[in-house]
């Protein structure tokens, strides 16, 4: 199509005439209304999907066949009557009026063509249009493939030139759960928001390898915390999100796991809302479930455990319900493992309750140290267990492919790729 000059048309408030009332015309009307056009529909009858817009006045319906003069004042014309003679008459009248015309049934008679289109999910700024030499099925396949890559964050979608908004634009904040650290376990929505971010405020346990995929001019703010070391306090993190958004930047707060599971996402959400900043929460794969699964331990299992509790070792574990058939998942609990195990036994759990400590789930150091409440602290110390680690307490640990643990003269640590 060497004679095709692709462009976008701003039709908001402008008259577009659609001739025909069938399914093709209905698709054209929906798109035109979404773009804000004034639509005149010329057809003796219309399909059911057009009855609503006609009834509520969104579409001007001329309830008869096409007649000369119907195109007066039109900026664009679509004809899809199913009658070649009528379509040719409409196209001829549009040509005489120097108005571009889309002819659904005969692309060779048209002076304009509708491409296969898609919008970037959740983003009205990016629209994709594909022409394929008047081969609509080919165009649709290409559109779908590119749209999937856009939505997956695999293509550069970040704004480079901002719209002319007088400098008044306020950016947005997305609290994105990055999962347990493997870059393949972030959600598609989270991945796309990351690809479009101007600023990324990242935790230590987020999928940090994804930072290497960002453009050089994306600002990365590292607020990672380790045990006993919080270089950027939470109040300051909240302020950073608001400050960057008010400066017109789109911000991703990239967290490990899920923002709402001991991730302080609720506090960040509240701070953004209080400041009038638009904020979105993107759930993530939580390490509380995924890390045990990485070493073959389900947190629930029919006939073994019907429920589980997730808490940190900083919490009072004595109040956790149930016995070995109610799984306890402990986050951030390596340094207090002995104290926590003793508290669980003191609360009535048997000392021989199975325990697994899983380090660096989905990471290069991934390994599981197995034992019981009676000996897990000693085994973990002997193995040199260090954070990040997730501890699982309960009979589900017996489902691990490495259960039972080695004899007590061994540390019980099992490494797996």
Query: Which residues are known catalytic residues?
Result: 203, 225
Give all strands (DSSP E) within 144-265, no chain letters: 172-177, 199-202, 219-222, 251-255
- Sequence-ordered alpha helix ranges (H) in 136-224: 136-151, 188-195
DSSP 3-state of 364: coil
Residues 6+ apart with CB under 8 A from 399: 296, 297, 298, 301, 304
Locate tokens 């005439």: which residue? 17
Alpha-carbon distance of 208 to 63, in angstroms, equals 61
Q: Closest by alpha carbon to 133, among 110, 107, 109, 111?
A: 107
- Cα 289 to Cα 284: distance, rounded to the nearest angstrom: 11
What length is written for the chain? 417
Q: 120: which residues sit within 8 A by CB, 6+ positions away?
A: 126, 127, 128, 147, 150, 151, 157, 192
Answer whether 125's CB lies under 8 Å from 97's CB.
Answer: no
Q: What is the dihedral of CA 88, 93, 97, 102, to 10 degrees?
A: -30
**Closest by Cα among 233, 119, 123 to 172:** 123
Nearest to 299 by CA among 346, 354, 339, 350: 354
Distance between CA 373 and CA 274 in Å, rounded?
A: 45
DSSP 261-275: SSS-HHHHHHHHHHT
Closest CA to 375 of 350, 398, 400, 402: 350
- Asked whether the beta carbons of 309 and 331 are under 8 A apart, the reply is no
219-254 core/surface letters (b: 16 or more CB in 10 A; e: else): eeeebeeeeeeeeeeeeebbebbbebbeeebbbbbb
Count the Cβ atoms, other than its own, within 10 Å of residue 178: 31
């Amino acid at each position: 199509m060497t004679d095709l000059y692709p462009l976008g048309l701003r039709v908001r408030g402008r008259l577009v005439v659609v001739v025909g009332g069938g399914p093709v015309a209905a698709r054209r009307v929906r798109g035109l209304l979404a773009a804000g056009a004034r639509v005149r529909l010329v057809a003796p009858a219309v399909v059911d999907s057009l009855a609503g817009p006609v009834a509520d006045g969104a579409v001007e319906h001329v309830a008869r066949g096409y007649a000369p003069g119907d195109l007066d004042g039109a900026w664009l014309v679509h004809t899809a009557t199913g009658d070649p003679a009528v379509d040719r008459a409409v196209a001829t009248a549009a040509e005489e009026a120097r108005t571009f015309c889309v002819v659904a049934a005969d692309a060779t008679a048209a002076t304009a063509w509708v491409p296969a289109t898609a919008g970037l999910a959740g983003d009205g700024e990016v629209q994709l249009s594909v022409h394929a030499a008047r081969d609509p099925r080919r165009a649709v396949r290409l559109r779908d493939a590119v749209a999937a890559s856009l939505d997956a964050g695999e293509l550069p979608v970040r704004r480079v030139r901002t719209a002319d908004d007088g400098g008044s634009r306020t950016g947005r904040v997305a609290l994105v759960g990055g999962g347990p650290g493997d870059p393949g376990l972030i959600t598609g929505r989270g991945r796309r928001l990351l690809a479009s971010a101007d600023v990324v405020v990242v935790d230590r346990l987020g999928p940090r390898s994804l930072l290497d995929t960002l453009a050089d001019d994306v600002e990365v703010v590292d607020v990672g915390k380790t045990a006993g070391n919080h270089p950027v306090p939470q109040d300051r993190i909240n302020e950073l999100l608001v400050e960057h958004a008010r400066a017109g930047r789109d911000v991703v707060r990239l967290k490990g796991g899920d923002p709402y599971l001991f991730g302080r996402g609720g506090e960040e959400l509240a701070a953004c809302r209080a400041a009038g900043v638009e904020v979105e929460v993107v759930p993530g794969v939580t390490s509380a479930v995924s890390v045990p699964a990485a070493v073959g331990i389900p947190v629930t299992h029919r006939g073994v455990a019907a429920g589980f509790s997730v808490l940190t070792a900083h919490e009072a574990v004595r109040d956790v319900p149930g016995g070995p058939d109610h799984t306890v998942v402990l986050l951030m609990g390596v340094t207090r493992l002995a104290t926590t195990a003793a508290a669980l036994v003191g609360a009535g759990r048997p000392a021989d309750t199975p325990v697994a400590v899983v380090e660096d789930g989905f990471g290069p150091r991934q390994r599981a140290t197995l034992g019981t409440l009676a000996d897990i602290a000693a085994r973990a110390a002997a193995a040199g267990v260090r954070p990040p680690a997730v501890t699982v307490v309960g009979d589900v640990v017996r489902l691990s492919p490495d259960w039972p643990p080695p004899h007590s003269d061994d540390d019980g640590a099992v490494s797996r790729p």
